[in-house]
């Protein structure tokens, strides 16, 4: 079976770059720098279901995205999470968190409503991430 | 600098087993099968800060704990997350989630209060996990 991005993930995020295993997408919520890493593997809910090589690749790609968020936004802490209770297609959230952000110190899920980017801010943020992720 | 378990993690959880890189501990909250995986590496907040070999080992150990939770509790979904806004010592939550649990389908953090295990239930659960994790 071929991989198809879950329609909820497609609607909530914008493509940044395709890495070896995973698509990197920016969540459409200007409150936080928030990036999804989604392995292009069909029928996988949890990371342990990937084969060992895919697991190692996902680990490298998650670290690459983590370093990009640290370099661009210098947050106090990253939140890296695979939850998927509502959308059970494996996707790893990477969220740059700092004191004073709208959910701090709680997790971001379920806190308030997403704030849309302007078209210009969205394009800028995607380009920033693309620049860092395509050289690292 | 040597690794010392953060006092909050020590207070909130009970030791299960020490793997090659990480300590596995059971959260003292009977509402969910909820296990922490904590690399014994000092001064690390986020997984990308581990060296590449440690990252791969952590990935293996996280998969091992994930398979153990699936085998023992057959949840609908795992939640695997490194948050650490309040306790910024790297620790990976592994939580077995199913429809009908007290937070479903939301994340577990901030929902209600932990429900303590009885001593007997705690000992049983630790032993179950230890049995699966020491043969896998």
Taking each continuous run of H as one helix and of E as one strand, the counts in chain A are 3, 5
Residue B80 lies in a domain: yes
Q: Would the pLDDT of B65 be above 80?
A: yes
Chain B contact set for A76 (CB, 8 A): 85, 88
Domain residues for the domain of B51 are 7-119
Which of B48, B54, B88, B108 to probe by mutation at the A interface, max A CB count within 10 Å?
A: B48
Residue B62 lies in a domain: yes
Determine whether A127 is exposed, middle or buried from the number of CB atoms within 10 Å of its CB (0-12, 13-18, 19+): exposed
Q: In B, what residues contact A, Cβ < 8 A?
A: 45-48, 52, 55-56, 58-60, 62-63, 66-67, 70, 76-86, 88, 97, 104-107, 109-110
A135 pLDDT band (50/70/90 cuts)? confident
Residue B112, domain CATH: 3.30.428.10
* Planar angle of CA B53, B135, A48, nearest 5 degrees: 50
ipTM over 0.90: yes
Nearest neighbour of B77 by CB, restricted to A80, A84, A106: A84
Residue B125 lies in a domain: no
Q: Which residues pair with B36 in a beta bridge?
A: B25, B93
Q: For position A115, what pLDDT does the model report?
A: 98
Residue B129 lies in a domain: no
A1 pLDDT band (50/70/90 cuts)? confident
Q: For position B105, what pLDDT does the model report?
A: 97
Residue A46 lies in a domain: yes
Nearest neighbour of B88 by CB, restricted to A46, A47, A77: A77
> Of A98, A82, A113, A92, which Cα lies nearest the Cα of A35?
A92
Residue B127 lies in a domain: no
What's the total number of domains in chain B? 1
Q: Which residues pair with A77 in a beta bridge?
A: A97
Residue A29 lies in a domain: yes
Q: Count Cβ atoms below 10 Å from residue B32 Cβ, excluding itself.
A: 23
**Per-residue pLDDT reduced to its tens digit, A54-107:** 999 999 999 999 999 999 999 999 999 999 999 999 999 999 999 999 999 999
- Its pTM stands at 0.97
Residue B126 lies in a domain: no
């Amino acid at each position: 079976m071929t991989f198809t991005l879950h329609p909820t993930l497609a609607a909530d995020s914008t493509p940044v770059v395709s890495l070896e295993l995973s698509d990197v997408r920016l969540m459409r919520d200007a409150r936080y720098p928030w990036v999804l890493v989604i392995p292009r593997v069909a029928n996988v809910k949890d990371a342990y279901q990937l084969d060992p090589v895919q697991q190692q690749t996902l680990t490298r790609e998650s670290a690459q995205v983590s370093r990009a968020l640290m370099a661009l936004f210098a947050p106090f802490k990253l939140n890296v999470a695979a939850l998927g209770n509502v959308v059970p297609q494996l996707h790893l959230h990477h969220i740059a968190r700092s004191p004073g952000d709208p959910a701090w110190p709680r997790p971001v899920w379920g806190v308030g409503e997403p704030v849309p980017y302007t078209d210009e801010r969205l394009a800028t943020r995607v380009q920033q991430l693309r620049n860092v992720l395509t050289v690292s």
